[in-house]
Amino acid sequence: MIDKSVYDVSSYLAYHPGGAILLNSMGGKDATAQFMDRGHSEFAISIRDNMKIGDIEDGPIPEECKSNLKVQKVENIPYVSYEELKTHDKKEDLWVEIDGLVYDLSNFAVEHPGGPQILVNRAGKIASEGFKYCFILDS
Average of pLDDT values for 60-83? 60
Distance of CA 94 to the CA centre of its chain: 15
Average pLDDT of the chain to the nearest whole number = 77
Q: Which helix (H) or strand (E) holds 4?
A: none
**CATH architecture of structural domain 63-131:** Roll (3.10)
Question: Hey, is 2 helix, strand or coil?
Answer: strand
Query: Residue 102 pairs with which residues in a beta bridge?
Result: 97
Helix, strand, or coil here: 81? coil
Q: How far is CA 53 from the centre of its chain?
A: 14
DSSP 17-28: TT-HHHHHHTTT
Is the pLDDT at 137 greater than 50? The verdict is no
Beta-carbon contacts of residue 60 (< 8 Å; ≥ 6 apart): 99, 132
User: Domain 5-57: which topology?
Assistant: Flavocytochrome B2; Chain A, domain 1 (3.10.120)
Can you give the pTM of this predicted structure? Answer: 0.46
Residues of the chain with CATH 3.10.120.10: 5-57, 63-131
Confidence of residue 18 (pLDDT cuts 50, 70, 90): confident
Q: For 86-122, what is each residue's pLDDT tens digit?
A: 899 998 999 988 777 788 888 888 888 777 888 888 8
